Structure 1
Amino acid sequence: MASLIKTTSKRTGKPRYSVQVNIGERNRPTFPLGQLTKKQAEAAKGHIENLLSTKRSGSILDGPTADWLARIDNSLRDRLAKYELCAPRVATKPQTAVPKLGAFIDGYISKRSEELKPRTIINLKVARGHLVEFFSVDRDLDSITPGDADDFRRSLIAKGLEENTVRRTCGRAKQFFRDAVRRRVIDESPFADMKATSVTANRKRDYFVTSEEADAMLEACPDTQWKLIIALSRYGGLRCPSEHLALTWGDVDWKRKRIRVRSPKTAHHDGHEERIMPLFPQLQPYLEAAWQELIDSEDFTPEAQPTSELPVITRYRDSNSNLRTQLLRIIKRAGLVAWPKLFQNMRATRATELAKEHPGHVAATWLGHSTKVADKHTIGR
């Protein structure tokens, strides 16, 4: 049925073995075994004979031969399969190294750096910091379990972070791991089933900034630009600083008494790149003062650049300008006590006023948010 053939290697002088099998119809293929001991070669011959016998009888392959078949190299296995003495070996996908936690998140942020706003990138990096602090930067991504994710959330609470900060951080962690699942890096996200990762309104931090308080701040401002920043926030309801800095004089329509507000925050939503709102009477004097200051300036050269392209806020545009710190100084100078979410509550106060004076959908459109969002952030009085 099968014959063991011995030859000698010309290069090494060592014996080499092969097995010749009589399959039938003058078909006697040879299966090289390589440099083996005679005992190993005879064992291989016996296994090949078992393969041939199993093929002819249709019986089940015995355990020892099946184990041998699983261990042999690909060249011998492929040759046996060629003559239908065994099934072809299934190619296995090479194992790729599971990325480390820190490196994966860094890659995620880097890939999205062109589409994300600077503040969003900062927030993602803060979430990354919490994750690598708890799990370590070199933790294998697939080794983190849902139980580990729960422990991570508890660690944030133990740090004394506010509920919404915990929710945001876990939401961003969920975002990272969801991306890993989509890229087939891991099979499932340990944060997938975690609830309470969306932010809820914290009514304890609501504060209605009265017109008297606004007037006191305006009186305490060091210059016209700061007066305009506060007026745009409190009486215009603009998002600070993004919408303030995007505003140009071409956006101010004095004749029709309206303002075009371009919103970087909602620009990625179709139809929400900009909005039109009234030039409110409370806001108009501060825009007029800033305009007069501009045209009276020695640096005013409309021939060098169209006036419509000039920014309304010319100072405090640098990324190092900490508007919150400067506003705290103004509040102190005005004899007031600072409130939570300084700029957000000025915008929310204006939203509350407008919702009381106008139809809800109209007020929401002017401020660039949905009525659902408006209801969530309206300050009760």
Structure 2
Amino acid sequence: TRPNMWRILFVAPDGSRKTLRLGKMAKRSAEAIQRHVDALLAAKIAGQPMPRETAVWLDGIGDRLRARLAGVGLVGSKPRLTVDQYLAEWLVSKRLEGLKSSTLATLKHDIADAEQWFAGRLLSTVTGEDVEQFVAALRKRLSPATLAKRVQRVRQAFQDACERNLLERNPFGRIRVSSGNPAERRVYVPVQQVERVIAVCPNVHWKLLFVLSRYAGLRIPSEALLLKWGDVDWERGRMTVPSPKTERQGKPYRVIPLFPSVKPYLDQAWEITPEGEEFIFPEAWRRRSQGPAGWVNANFRTVALKILRKAEIEPWPRLWQNLRSSCESDLAATFPIATVTKWLGNSPSVALRHYVDPTDEAFERAKNWVPGTPKKRAKSGALGAQNSAQQERALICTSRKD
């Protein structure tokens, strides 16, 4: 009787008369709903699946209209998932997307707090106020960087729920958590300290692990453990580094120089490598990294800390990351940042925010800097030394082939 107030009358498969009240809307919208109602009714009568177009439409409608369709028996009720049930399903969906086991282990760890905090709570009932209380509780025991990462992961999970029409809006959407200043967790590790550590390493492979991290900027353990002898181009003085972290971005590897600081330790590793061995590092190390948690199982940090104590060196934070960032800082002092980031496998913006810091040597040089003074380039002798090292490597390589 009232204008623009619509309802749909139909006879259900059991013969009963039903009324679907749509409320106030444009005639065109009501007619579109009626077409899908006819399709749902026909599918029920015939015992067949609903048409794909109707299924897509049904997946995109709001909770209110879906509840009315369920009320007249045209569709089933929308599943009422709890937060912990949904997050468990979300992890399964990520596994089906092809994420690596190490990434899945990280995701599971990052959302564990939300699973526990909201356990048994219906997903659709979580509010922005609930989220603020959750974040406030985490802030009391987590560093800003860890807090920001975990909130980011849970926000992503809830956003996926919105895209699946399980939620109308993301309660984490307006929550912003600062990760703090990355420089506060960054430490420059001097070469002198690294040499002391290398001197007390228990074997050649541990020495090479520290060397590849500090002098070549490899990610430990993922990139180091995937290195093969075939990745080392002795004659051209280059090395191909597998990069699992950037593989999904279409960058499964990168090519870096075979730095003079790295070559002697590769030599030593080659000398003890069994005939026919493909990988540079021992098979036992790689087997440990193939468990459910991926690279975390390698457990290099525990042994590394023992080595540092033996060298009587106070452990620095973010052990392997700061070795890598120290390498990038050194390289950035000599080579263009675009070149350095190609070698290290990140972007200039990431490098400047998370990796590169001015070294003490840079501050010392700045004391004598005058505006307009041309920047001194590395002398040709450095290039000559590199060429000489490459020729030496070529001779060694030839002898190995013989």
Same fold by TM-score greater than 0.5: yes
The answer to whether the 8 Å contact 2:147/2:177 transfers is no
Inter-CA distance 147–285: structure 2 relative to 1 (3 Å threshold) = same
Q: Distance in 2 between matches of 1:286 and 1:301?
A: 18
Q: Distance in 2 between matches of 1:106 and 1:348?
A: 35
Inter-CA distance 379–329: structure 2 relative to 1 (3 Å threshold) = same
* TM-score, normalised with respect to structure 1: 0.72
- Tell me whether 1:163 sits opposite 2:144 in the alignment: yes
Inter-CA distance 333–353: structure 2 relative to 1 (3 Å threshold) = same
- Residue correspondence of structure 1 range 334-349 to structure 2 within 5 A: 334-349=311-326
Deviation at 1:78, TM superposition (A): 6.3
Match of 1:269 among 249, 256, 269: 249
Percent identity reads 31
What SS does structure 2 have at the residue aligned with 1:235? helix
Inter-CA distance 249–200: structure 2 relative to 1 (3 Å threshold) = farther
Q: Distance in 2 between matches of 1:165 and 1:152?
A: 14
Deviation at 1:129, TM superposition (A): 1.6
The answer to whether the 8 Å contact 1:275/1:368 transfers is yes
Unaligned ranges ≥5, structure 1: 1-59, 62-68, 80-86, 295-299
Q: Which residue of 1 is the match for residue 162 of structure 2?
A: 181
- Tell me whether 1:75 sits opposite 2:15 in the alignment: yes
What SS does structure 2 have at the residue aligned with 1:119? helix
Q: Distance in 1 between matches of 2:83 and 2:113?
A: 12
Match of 2:123 among 130, 135, 141: 141
- Residue correspondence of structure 1 range 269-348 to structure 2 within 5 A: 269-270=249-250, 272-294=251-273, 300-302=274-276, 310-314=278-282, 315-317=284-286, 318-319=288-289, 320-348=297-325
The answer to whether the 8 Å contact 1:102/1:128 transfers is no
Deviation at 1:119, TM superposition (A): 2.8
Deviation at 1:125, TM superposition (A): 1.3
Q: Distance in 2 between matches of 1:378 and 1:334?
A: 26
Match of 2:340 among 363, 366, 377: 363
Number of residue pairs aligned between Structure 1 and Structure 2: 292
Deviation at 1:201, TM superposition (A): 4.3
Matched to 1:141, the amino acid is: L
Q: Distance in 1 between matches of 2:115 and 2:301?
A: 29
Give deviations 1:127-153, integer Å, cap 9, x for gaps.
Answer: 3320122122x2110000011111111
Larger radius of gyration: 1
Q: Which residue of 2 is the match for residue 109 of structure 1?
A: 91
Matched to 1:279, the amino acid is: L
Match of 2:176 among 195, 216, 222: 195
What SS does structure 1 have at the residue aligned with 2:236? coil
* TM-score, normalised with respect to structure 2: 0.68
Stretches of 4+ aligned residues off by more than 3 angstroms: 72-76, 87-91
The answer to whether the 8 Å contact 2:84/2:116 transfers is no
What SS does structure 1 have at the residue aligned with 2:95? coil
The answer to whether the 8 Å contact 1:258/1:277 transfers is yes
Deviation at 1:156, TM superposition (A): 0.2
Q: Which residue of 1 is the match for residue 377 of structure 2?
A: none
Matched to 2:148, the amino acid is: R
The answer to whether the 8 Å contact 1:221/1:330 transfers is yes
Inter-CA distance 356–77: structure 2 relative to 1 (3 Å threshold) = same
Unaligned ranges ≥5, structure 2: 3-8, 20-29, 38-68, 70-74, 290-296, 360-402
Q: Which residue of 2 is the match for residue 214 of structure 1?
A: 194
Greater RCO (Cα-Cα under 8 Å, separation 6 or more): 2
Deviation at 1:95, TM superposition (A): 1.9
Deviation at 1:220, TM superposition (A): 0.7
Give deviations 1:70-104, integer Å, cap 9, x for gaps.
Answer: 9x99735369xxxxxxx999751432222111111
